[in-house]
Amino acid sequence: MTERLYYTDPACTEFDATVLACETVDGRLVAVLDRTAFYPTSGGQPNDVGVLGDAQVLDVVDRDDGSIGHVLSAPLGVGVGVQVHGSIDRARRVDHRQQHTGQHILSAAFDRLHKARTVGFHLGAEVSTLDLDKVLGAESIARAEAEANRVVWEDRPVTIRFASAEDAAAMPLRKEPARTGPLRLIEVEGFDLSACGGTHVARAGEVGIVAVRTSEKFRGGTRLEFVCGGRALREFRSLRDAVAGSQTFLSVAPLELPAAIERLQGDNKDQRRTIKDLQDRLAVHEASALVDRATPVGAARVVIEAIDGWDQAGLKAMAAAAASRPGVVAALLSTTDPALLVVAGAADVPLDAAAVLKAMLTTCGGKGGGKPDLAQGGGLTGGTTRLVGELRQLIEQAIRP
């Protein structure tokens, strides 16, 4: 059994302890101490990290026998029965205390205002998630967020006490404990009382702020992403910088950004339509020039060219326009590497464009598909000269009498 110093003193980040065991478990070095301030992963909260003796503590594990295993990067440097000094990553501990206490307060706010119970919590590396058993709208979420921050800014005491399961049953706990036996209770004065083994702040004001980032329907309820304290400050700075950059680009005030982006998207759609129309017209014109340069192969006229500056849609439009003329086969490549390819044939030419494309993809890589009259693909490698040569050979074999 390991004495858990964080149970009574969550602010403790330096301690001395006696080594009880040094083991290798599943290829990992594990140290067991008589007492520790390192928190093991539990209850949705990640483990602490830091230094123990001469080694880094990489993971902390709550073991079935009541002891806590410290997974180490290297041997401790001291043996069993000897004292060792432990030092916890203070910034990580402070962050976890802010997020976990913020979760208690936010969960209590949802419970009090909307009778929405918390059914899941995960403290992530960047954001935390809270799962509620009800579907809630933006207004309800904002009310609970405001209530949580009211309690934080009142700087209410957050206290730790212990009670038997029998005594706890008579207390106004927010939810029924999942475990039996003696319980550790976390109380936010006059607002929340919950059984919890995690690390928490001493006063609600240390949480700083509780900010809900996003919400979505999840398994018949609502999943929220939220940040507290230092994370909320970092989130604000990121949003501030993003808004400032957008303002500079669009030359509008912050509150005008949504409308400006909507206008920009509308203009972009109009421009894409205009470009497509002009490209289609130009494709018809270019197709005429291609047909004029076509090479006779039997009764057909074949044009195989690599064309610079055209995308897949443009090559398709150009090839289709050329193949709309009797007796014409058009195989057009982009000059990019890997290359795009479109193969098209007139109705009176005995050519299966899809078969030609398939043969090219087999030898030159890429993917694509189509029909006998028109097929297209991309990702072909080997260089323009090789691709043009292989296309010519395949097409001539297909259409020569």
Q: Which residue has the tokens 């400050």?
A: 233
Cis amide leading into 40 (omega within 30): no
Tokens at residue 20, please?
């009880």
Q: Which residue has the tokens 């802010």?
A: 98
CA–CA gap between residue 324 and residue 344 (Å, rounded): 9
Residue 275 CA: distances (Å) to CA of 265, 287, 311: 15, 18, 12
Nearest to 15 by CA among 71, 66, 86: 86
pLDDT in tens, the chain (401 residues): 899 999 999 999 999 999 999 999 999 999 999 999 999 998 889 999 999 998 999 999 999 898 999 999 999 888 899 999 999 999 999 999 999 999 999 999 999 999 999 999 999 999 999 999 999 999 999 999 999 999 999 999 999 999 998 888 889 999 888 777 889 999 999 999 999 999 999 999 999 999 999 999 999 999 999 999 999 999 999 999 888 888 887 888 888 888 888 888 888 888 888 887 887 788 778 888 888 888 898 888 999 999 888 889 889 999 999 999 999 999 999 999 899 999 999 999 988 999 999 999 999 999 999 999 999 999 999 999 999 999 999 998 888 76
CA–CA gap between residue 229 and residue 297 (Å, rounded): 75
CATH class of the domain defined by 3-88: mainly beta
What pLDDT does residue 178 have? 72
What pLDDT does residue 401 have? 66
**Residues with Cβ < 8 Å from 135, sequence gap 6 or more?**
217, 220, 221, 222
Tokens at residue 16, please?
């001395």
- For the chain, counts of helices (H) and of strands (E): 9, 21
Do the first three CATH levels of 3-88 and 93-237 match, i.e. the same topology? no
Q: Which residue has the tokens 């440097």?
A: 77
Q: Are 15 and 6 in contact (CB under 8 A)?
A: no
CATH T-level fold of 281-399: Diaminopimelate Epimerase; Chain A, domain 1 (3.10.310)
Per domain, the residue ranges of the chain are 3-88, 93-237, 281-399
Q: Where are the beta strands (DSSP E) in 112-191?
A: 118-123, 128-132, 158-163, 183-188
CA–CA gap between residue 38 and residue 199 (Å, rounded): 10
CA–CA gap between residue 111 and residue 244 (Å, rounded): 37
SS3 17: strand
CATH T-level fold of 93-237: Threonyl-tRNA Synthetase; Chain A, domain 2 (3.30.980)
SS3 9: coil
